[in-house]
Amino acid sequence: MLWQLIIAGPLAAPSPAPSPAPSPNFDANLVTPGVWGFVITAGIMVVVILLIIDMVRRMRRVNYRAEVRKRLEAEGDAKGPTS
């Protein structure tokens, strides 16, 4: 009896109801993002571009500092120990 409920339970689940058709007086302009949607999206794009520019600048700075540090260590090794 229990195994019949376990097996038949998921198979006997009701199908979802179909979605209702849109009404004939539906205005598509009322559901568009409009000017505010454009302004917010453009603002997010500007912020992302500025963050990418800042990240590239920081990566270059880190790489340059590592290169300078490597040069200084090479110069220090070339001079040898100082007494």
pLDDT tens per residue across all 83 residues of the chain: 666 666 666 556 566 677 777 677 777 777 778 899 999 999 999 999 999 999 999 999 999 999 999 999 998 888 766 65
Q: Residue ranges of the domains in the chain?
A: 47-73
pTM of the complete model beyond 0.75: no
Q: Which two tokens stand for residue 9?
A: 């339970």
Identity (one letter) of the amino acid at 1?
M
**C-alpha span between 33 and 39 (Å, rounded):** 10
At CA 58, angle to CA 53 and CA 60, rounded to 5? 95
